[in-house]
Amino acid sequence: MGKDILSNLTPAKGSRRRVKRIGRGQGSGHGGTATKGHKGARSRSGHKFKLWFEGGQMPLLRRIPKFGFKPHNRVEAQIVNLETLERLVSTKKIDGTAVTPESLYNAGAVSKKDVPIKILGNGDLKSKIEVSVHAFSKSALEKIQAAGGKAIVLSQ
């Protein structure tokens, strides 16, 4: 019974390995170069190569040619198709007479309020609606007018 005291607890035999104590003299078997080999950056104190270092050869990122350009001030428009408008009008999620960015946001057709909206001509439009957004594709404009509706371009 006396063996089960907390101060007597030890790990199970063979479950723990002894720590390799390097650089503690020749008698340890790991003295001298302390398992680091002879000379070179890896043997020196404070050594740490950057993750992208490739031993001095030209790094991959500099071997690959640069191309393309992305303007930092570009504004990506949110897109709504005519079929989405028709579905929202038929399910009465938006008022059939006037479609605005606010009503599209409230209906869940767009995810942001302050980003411009563009209507694309994918799908058919049967409802006579007045759409006020920032941009229209040519096909969307023609389909809205063919259905008897009105397209109003808002300023951005």
Whether residue 2 has pLDDT greater than 60? no
Q: Per-residue pLDDT tens for 60-93? A: 999 999 999 999 998 899 999 999 999 999 888 8
Q: Do both 82 and 143 map to the same domain?
A: yes
Any domain includes 8:
no
Q: Do both 48 and 101 map to the same domain?
A: no
Q: Per-residue pLDDT tens for 17-56? A: 999 999 999 999 999 999 999 999 899 999 999 998 998 9
Q: Do both 88 and 149 map to the same domain?
A: yes
Any domain includes 10:
no
Using alpha carbons, select from 19, 37, 36 the residue that is nearest to residue 28. 19
Write out the residue range of the structural domain in which residue 39 sits: 19-68
Q: Do both 83 and 146 map to the same domain?
A: yes
Q: Do both 83 and 36 map to the same domain?
A: no
Confidence class for position 155, pLDDT limits 50, 70, 90: confident
Q: What is the mean pLDDT of residues 119-140?
A: 93
pTM, to two decimals: 0.57
Domain termination site, one of 37, 68, 99: 68
8 CB contacts (<8 Å, ≥6 apart)?
2
Any domain includes 58:
yes
* Rg value, the chain, Cα: 35
pLDDT value of position 30? 93
| Burial class (CB within 10 angstroms; exposed 0-12, middle 13-18, buried 19+) of 93 | middle
Number of domains in the chain: 2
pLDDT value of position 4? 73
Residue 97 CA to residue 118 CA, distance in Å, equals: 18
pLDDT value of position 92? 85
